[in-house]
Amino acid sequence: MDILRTIAYQPGNNNNKMCEHSHNKSSETRRAKLEDSSHAAQEMSRIISDSTTGKCYCRGKVLGKGGFAKCYEFTDLGSGKVYAVKIIPHTRVSKPHQREKIDREIELHRALHHKHIVQFYHHFEDKDNIYILLEYCSRRSLAHILKARKVLTEPEVRYYLRQVVSGLKYLHDQEILHRDLKLGNFFINEVMDLKIGDFGLAAKLEPVENRRRTICGTPNYLSPEVLNKQGHGCESDVWALGCVMYTMLLGRPPFETTNLKETYRCIREARYSMPSTLSPQAKHLISTMLAKTPEERPRLDDILRHDFFSQGFTPDRLSASCCHMAPDLQHTSPAKSFFKKAAAALFGGKKDRAKYFETLNKLTKEEEDIHRLRQDLRKASISNLPCRQATEDGANKQQIRDTIRMIVRGTLGSCSSSSECLEDSTMGSVADTVTRVLRGCLENMPEANDIPKEGLNCSFQWVTKWVDYSNKYGFGYQLSDHTVGVLFNNGTHMSLLSDKKSVHYYAELGQCMVFSTCEAPEQFVSQVTILKYFAHYMEENLMDGGDLPNVTDVSKPRLYLLQWLKSDRALMMLFNDGTFQVNFYHDHTKIIVCSQGEEYLLTYINEERVSTAVRLSELLRRGSSPDLRSRMEYALNMLLQRSLES
């Protein structure tokens, strides 16, 4: 069997393509070396002429080399246009089946036209070589970028994978399998667009019974079914994509070992390590793509709907500096103030931590009052209240209740209710109020082993579904009353009410414009279209986040999102009436803090999606489980981080 290797236009590629038994053909290796010497002698001419078109090209530097060919930079002397040109000596394709393979590659590639596929332009021959003119990608390949960078960030991986999936979906729609997806075959152009290239091993998709049984591709990226000679399908390309994602995030392929037989054994068993440094979403997506059984792997559309993409920021564009250094993604985001990463101060350097604790310990006059009240609570031994005798002095009881109410309400002054105080507030004052309430509770709450059970009948709105599409439009969510809202990247907000006909538009805090979907003002038509898209997507693809009843108090003001913030662990959402919700990714738990008259209510949705609602005053009196306390502390840290970065 002949060697099935084609060019991967980058130097020093250690993951050479191979076909079964190719490494045993020493005679062919010796012949190849002789042909290399002959080829080198023939390459002395720097001016190459195409007799079919009359064009002349100047041969430049070598871009890469493979088993059959070398790739050079070519400049059209007439137009100045630069190409990547694959040069294949006739001596390398002297056998009929070798020439057929090159002809098949040309015919397949020349018919492909897609933004994320290397463009095929032209091919011609002279007496010595075959020349294939391809799109020139000046930033070389992802293999070069990873070699310089060692690892890539998750936003970068999302950026590149979206483009790979787009190009690969086009190929699969054309019933073409690439069969050699790897970093060295993903080329990057001047503006950092990714292009899938090297179609030397590509083949038409065949019915299962007629699929090719040849073991070909790059060893580290071969799928179990290919190694087991069960044939290539679209699932094999998805497997390779999982290997690519793993490699970008960790700097090495998942099945790489020092021994090829051991690598193959690991692949057949789908056995690889999953370091704790990966996010839960990244781990889950990789594990689905590297499922041992092909049928269990996701389709390409399912990949883009995965939490790794929907719950993470994807930049619209990467700077060329990303080829050699990590990007500063805080400055590339079109909605910087709405999704800065939380907890940088908590996990950053000394200066960040010092700034964080300085803010944490800085008390306003109101907070000093809370501090004094805390001392009063300690004197009153509030943590022992459940054990008090029924004969306790009534006046003392009332004093303690008043003290609790003042702390929980965050010393809201003369307002009769928190919603009244917040209704016409700025985003900062809403966040500050919630911060004071949450901090006041945490600083005074005794330790306990479980969450108090109150059996409350609650009526409030909360977020049941959400999707992050801030790389293009904004952040979308669905409330428990089936209202759908979008906080757009330009800072405006639009809600589609549950009747799917009425739209509320907020250009500024507290200022609302109401119109119907069928009579939207011309300047809002595009936003209404996007709003409907969000609504349809969440309805079709997402499930509700807990067991809370979908009931709301129609007398309360309409809820709309002021701000959202994501860390590597949780999503925070802050609303105009002071409702504050935090969703934790890894176990899908949630906490919701909202006002109920003169009280604040906290609802906790656990891993089993079962909810428990309790007044903050009851938490202050009886304490909370360590599990809930830790989540409350993390939520407070996110709020404090928001104030640091605003």
Which segments are annotated as binding site for ATP? 86
Burial 429-438 (b: 16+ CB within 10 A, else e): ebbbbbbbbb
Sign of CA dihedral 554, 560, 566, 572: negative
Which pair of tokens denotes residue 225? 């079914």
Binding residues, by number, are 86
SS3 35: helix
Active site residue 36: no
Distances (CA, A) of 64 to 61, 140, 470: 9, 10, 38
CA distances (Å), 433 to each of 170, 460, 508, in order?
51, 19, 20
Half-sphere exposure of 287 (CA within 13 A, CB side): 10
Nearest to 409 by CA among 398, 397, 392, 421: 421
Set 2, 36, 180, 193: catalytic member: 180
- Rounding to the nearest 10 degrees, give the CA dihedral for residues 197, 201, 207, 213: -150
Q: Give the whole-angstrom CA distance, residue 198 versus residue 276.
A: 34
| Contacting residues for 214 by C-beta, under 8 A, at least 6 apart | 4, 19, 20
Distance of CA 121 to the CA centre of its chain: 34
Give the number of other Cβ atoms within 10 Å of residue 46's Cβ.
10
CA atoms 415, 417, 420, 425: torsion sign: positive
CA distances from 319 to 152, 323, 511, 606 (A): 14, 8, 38, 41
DSSP characters for 56-119?
A: EEEEEEEEEE-SS-EEEEEEETTT--EEEEEEEEGGGG-SHHHHHHHHHHHHHHHT---TTBPP
- In which order are the strands placed within the sheet that holds 580-584? 561-566, 570-575, 580-584, 590-596, 599-605, 611-615
At position 87, the amino acid (one-letter code) is I
DSSP calls for 104-165: HHHHHHHT---TTBPPEEEEEE-SSEEEEEEE--TT-BHHHHHHHHSS--HHHHHHHHHHHH
- Is the separation of the CB atoms in 237 and 181 below 8 Å? yes
Q: What are phi and psi of 137, to 5 degrees?
A: -115, 100
Which residues are part of the catalytic machinery? 180
